[in-house]
Structure 1
Amino acid sequence: MEVIDMRASEQDKDAGAIHALLEQASPVDRTSSLPLWVQIKERLLGVIMDVSVQANARLPSENTLCDLLGVSRPIIRMALDALVTQGLISKVPRQGIFVSQKRQEVDYVSHNKGLFGEIAKGYSVTTKVLLVERANPTEDEVKKLQLPPPADVLRVRRIYYVDGVATAVSTLRLAGHRVPGIEAWIKDSVSVYGIMQERFSLTVTDSERWFEAVMPTREEAELLGITTGQPLIGIESIGRTKDGLPIEYYNTVYSTTKSRLRVTAG
């Protein structure tokens, strides 16, 4: 009696669809200021988010992707690693690369003036600096900020107040080699975005953000004046300059006890 592996059959079907979509993808623009790996990541993202591609679909091998997209293996790996970091694909040793379970995300148009420049319009927003340190980066920081050795990372931890009410706690990480000495200007209620633009001619032109429900740590609960059982909105963001390179990466926990977070799409 012949046994048919339906899952394998579906994966093969999806693999064919992915292959066809990749063949139709526009070629990379080698004259663009956008790095090749970012262009490849966007093409792969468009493919895996296509309605015809299901969760657990198998992606072509790295070598096949090189042939289909006309770039080197290191470029392919950088693009794939970025998608793994975002939780959109997974690499299974000796099995392949697979599309992760698709999650609904809220995309919105960002003005890239800092999170609170967008969500707290019409309110008085102040900040208190809890920590400023320049240090060796963690592996995660190296990956998120694409730090070349021996670059360091600048960490800034702050609490945000909206109309005097503690509303969020944020840890910002900057690519240290791109903002030498910036810590001298970081003070309470001073915009880091403003410092980067004025002192270093750096502007965040593109950002990706993810939202999820999280529980506060004891420290976060104390800073926000809530209990550890009060759910918060967790926000993760990576911001890039016009050359496509990450300049900032932050994690924020936001309390909606006193105010709501409004996301505007356009």
Structure 2
Amino acid sequence: MDAASGTDVADLLLPTNRSRSAPLWSQVKSALSQLILKGELREHAQLPSEAELCLRFGVSRSVVREALSQLVNERMIYKLQGKGAFVAGRREEQDFVGTTIGFSGELADKSKTVTRRILVQSRAMPSARICKLMNIAENTPMVFLDRVLSVEGHPRFIVRWAMLERLVPGLDSLPMENRSLYDTIGRQYGIKLARAERWIEASTASVEDAELLQVPLGSSLLGIESVASNHLGEKIEYYTALYLTDRSRLHFSVVAPSF
């Protein structure tokens, strides 16, 4: 059943045509693809089980598995261990890695509903890694804010953020569940980030990350580490982010250096 539309997904499926030259798995894949592209199968709707697909299409389980595998490779569906296959959301361009606008700021510009779950909000001393990248002393107070950001109800980012405490006094006690972080530091503290260095690497979901993002253990993630400076060149912000890319892709603009 497609909860969003009330349609029984299985009722939309017809048996394969064995007189056609196309392989059976290709026919199954094509039939499911058309339902997805036409909107008959909504984003994140669950597909029937492999057994039911075999029955509806009149094919073997190996045929169904090959069709589903191809749809996963083309990112039209995704699988959750122990739960089944689901229609993937549309992959959107995300530009935040190449700007200082922030995650929720860019998504808000695209009229997306962003919700935030606070994991950590405190004042503490930086780690050795932060001290090294920001070139600060180990006794420099910072405000830490760890959050899970969801888009349209689906967890997408885990962001572990920190900023020099002297620039954002009291931020550790502000209610941030319903606030954009970058809007808050801009409006309330007058902070504008002028430049950022970012490192990006492939990552996989740990037990904690998988639970927070509601994905299987070991799922592919994109890891981002960032250090940002103000207009004076002072490094004032650090964050790491784990980004679920099954429903979107990152966009960069690269400018050639002047000579």
Is the TM-score greater than 0.5? yes
Contact 2:96 2:103 in 1 (8 A): no
Q: Deviations over 1:1-37 (max 9, x none)?
A: xxxxxxxxxxxxxxxxxxxxxxxxxxxxxxxxxxxxx
| Matched residue, 1:124 | 113
Q: Where do 1:212-251 residues align within 5 Å?
A: 212-251=201-240
Q: What SS class does the counterpart of residue 249 from structure 2 fall into?
A: coil
Tell me the CA shift for residue 220 of structure 1: 0.6
Pair 149,230 (structure 1): closer, same or farther in 2 beyond 3 Å? closer
Spell out structure 1 runs of 4+ moving beyond 6 A. none
Q: In the alignment, which of 165, 174, 178 is matched to residue 185 of structure 1?
A: 174
Pair 108,171 (structure 1): closer, same or farther in 2 beyond 3 Å? closer
Tell me the CA shift for residue 149 of structure 1: 6.2
Contact 1:209 1:236 in 2 (8 A): yes
1 CA distance for matches of 2:155 and 2:138?
37
> What is the aligned residue count?
160
Task: Provide the TM-score with structure 1 as the length reference.
Answer: 0.54
- Amino acid in structure 1 at the alignment position of 2:161: L
Tell me the CA shift for residue 117 of structure 1: 2.8
- Amino acid in structure 2 at the alignment position of 1:158: R
Q: In the alignment, which of 130, 147, 155 is matched to residue 166 of structure 1?
A: 155
Q: Where do 1:36-185 residues align within 5 Å?
A: 110-118=98-106, 121-122=109-110, 123-148=112-137, 150-185=139-174
Could you tell which deviates more after superposition, 183-192 or 237-246?
183-192
1 CA distance for matches of 2:180 and 2:147?
11
5+ long unaligned stretches in structure 1? 1-106
Give the share of equivalent positions with the same residue, in percent.
29
- Amino acid in structure 1 at the alignment position of 2:244: S
Q: Deviations over 1:119-174 (max 9, x none)?
A: 67422222111111111222222222333464212111100111111011110011
CA RMSD, Structure 1 to Structure 2 (Å): 2.4
5+ long unaligned stretches in structure 2? 1-94
Higher Rg of the two aligned structures: 2
| Matched residue, 1:200 | 189
- Amino acid in structure 1 at the alignment position of 2:156: T
Tell me the CA shift for residue 190 of structure 1: 1.1
Q: What SS class does the counterpart of residue 260 from structure 1 fall into?
A: strand
Contact 2:119 2:146 in 1 (8 A): yes
Pair 124,108 (structure 1): closer, same or farther in 2 beyond 3 Å? closer
1 CA distance for matches of 2:96 and 2:245?
19
Q: Deviations over 1:157-206 (max 9, x none)?
A: 10011111101111001112222212232411312222222222211111
Contact 1:167 1:224 in 2 (8 A): yes
Tell me the CA shift for residue 224 of structure 1: 0.7
Pair 108,153 (structure 1): closer, same or farther in 2 beyond 3 Å? closer
Pair 256,191 (structure 1): closer, same or farther in 2 beyond 3 Å? same
Pair 209,115 (structure 1): closer, same or farther in 2 beyond 3 Å? farther
